[in-house]
Amino acid sequence: MNPLKSIHSNCGVFGIFGHPDASVMTYYGLHALQHRGQEAAGIVTSEFDTQKERYRFNIHKDHGLVLSVFANSNILTDVLKGEAAIGHTRYSTTGSGDSRNNIQPLKVNFKDGHLAVSHNGNFTNTMELRSMLEAKGTLFQTTTDTELALHLIAQSEQKEMTDKIIDAFGQIKGAYSICILTDDKLFAVRDPHGVRPLAFGKLEGSFVFASETCAFDIINAEYIRDVQPGEVVMIDKDSLSSGKETSFSIGQAEKFRHCIFEFIYFARPDSLIFEEKVDKVRRKLGKSLAEESPSPHAEADEKKVAVINVPDSSNTATLGYFNRNVKCNKDLKHEIGLIRSHYVGRTFIQPGQDKRKMKVKTKFNTVKGVIYDRKVVIIDDSIVRGTTSKLLVELVQKAGPKEVHLKITSPPVVAPCYYGMDFPSKGELIANQMDGNIELIRDELGLTSLHYLSFRSLKESVPYMHPKTDYCTACFTGEYPISINGLEKMNKHQFDD
């Protein structure tokens, strides 16, 4: 992931039931999901108090990376006791990010016990739901859409917890992959279109859920299957004895609409999402790009053309591109031309300094000997605002290349996301600013050439694992497969998760 990109996945979710070290497993799971949200993290556990003979919910959450939020490991062992837990990593946007209340998991006590929720995605009928709940006198403690789910569950007139959850999610529209912890059960729910990923696995007799399977690998859990679009999976003590989950349905959409950007950029290449390996798809994207836009040849007196990746976001796609292109162009050499520092925290900016420029300079440097006097081909996954790409190209140009070609493994981004990714507004996207004119974007970025993967090649590069499989591609087309109900008119940070 390129942490300087103007798009951020808002969340990673994790849940575990029936493990003596539930909080520790959740901590490691969140660690593996750190790329899905770096601003805040939290864990809630359910603990049975044998003396009082009732359940207690323990919670710890704060702003910061998982490592720093849980720097005091006693929190995991002494505070977050219990054999069931859910966790969350959050990317929060400016403004709302300052509110501690918005950090997840969110937790409430209600007449039937405790309830905690971790959510990845965005509800799209928040306005209607919020108005409806406010009319009933509901008081809100956060500005997140996630809180709506808590109120809908708590206020449901159904008797059983499972029915309350089915009732609540029957009213919610949009994108969500959610873990819900109650006193004695763990639920995982995925929206009918399956926009965000949610994997289901097992670990030493316990049950686990996570946004991506890299969170299973770190704790040696076994991937069993995806939570299906429109499915509610329930785990309780009977599941522990039978080894089986219980499944319910809130209804499945006619077509699934998995977020195609998860394959392009968000998910880790060592994860399996939507039942396919991210690494495999990302290589395929690189390969398709090579077929559409091969690299230039070197002249007789020139060194080999350097094909370089932008670490770490385009590492895998670059391999796919290079391996395909080198078969018909022996003048190519895969080089490490950009070095990324992994040890940069917040950048100290002096008055008058360009913040984004300093971030790029502290994060990346060029290997001058690799770039100098050569034709350079940079592979990247996407261009959003264009500001980071421009600064990266500037950095490469300073190292004295003969030519700089930029090839992108996705089409131009032209529309914001309302399904759980934090994108800049439409007007801030460089493709809109330049009216979709690729030559203008090329000039603005200071490139010899620029190529975006065609929409057709993108759609042909992703897997279709199920007869219902299709993808959300709204940020490339502006066509939203789930109604956004006027969300584009709202302050984009009014409800965010």
Pairing mode of beta strands 231-235, 246-249: antiparallel
CA gap 24, 2 in Å, rounded: 28
In whole angstroms, how far apart are CA 146 and each of 85, 255, 296?
18, 25, 50
C-alpha of 334 from chain center: 28
Q: Which amino acid would we find at residue 440?
A: L
Question: Quick one: 169 or 480, whose CB is closer to ligand SF4?
Answer: 480
Whose CA is closest to 183, among 235, 232, 113, 246?
113
Question: Quick one: 14 or 263, whose CB is closer to ligand SF4?
Answer: 263
11 a catalytic residue: yes
DSSP 262: I
As a 3-state breakdown, the chain gives helix, strand, coil percent values, each rounded to 5, of 30, 25, 40
Radius of gyration of the chain (CA): 23
Question: Quick one: 89 or 473, whose CB is closer to ligand SF4?
Answer: 473
In the bound complex, what is the minimum distance in angstroms from residue 324's beta carbon to ligand SF4?
Answer: 24
Q: Which of 11, 417, 472, 475 is catalytic?
A: 11
Which positions lie near ligand SF4, rule CB under 6 A? 195, 259-261, 417, 419, 421, 472-475
In the bound complex, what is the minimum distance in angstroms from residue 292's beta carbon to ligand SF4?
Answer: 20
In the bound complex, what is the minimum distance in angstroms from residue 468's beta carbon to ligand SF4?
Answer: 17
Q: Which amino acid would we find at residue 430?
A: I
Residue 100, classed as helix, strand or coil, is: helix
Question: Quick one: 442 or 466, whose CB is closer to ligand SF4?
Answer: 466
Question: Quick one: 399 or 472, whose CB is closer to ligand SF4?
Answer: 472
Question: Quick one: 288 or 366, whose CB is closer to ligand SF4?
Answer: 288
The full 3-state SS of 121-187, as one line of letters, equals EEECCHHHHHHHHHHCCCCCCCCCCHHHHHHHHHHCCCCCHHHHHHHHHHHCCEEEEEEEEECCCEE
Length of the chain: 497
In whole angstroms, how far apart are CA 130 and each of 125, 178, 256, 420, 487?
9, 19, 27, 18, 13
Residue nearest to ligand SF4 (CB): 417
**Residues carrying an active site annotation:** 11
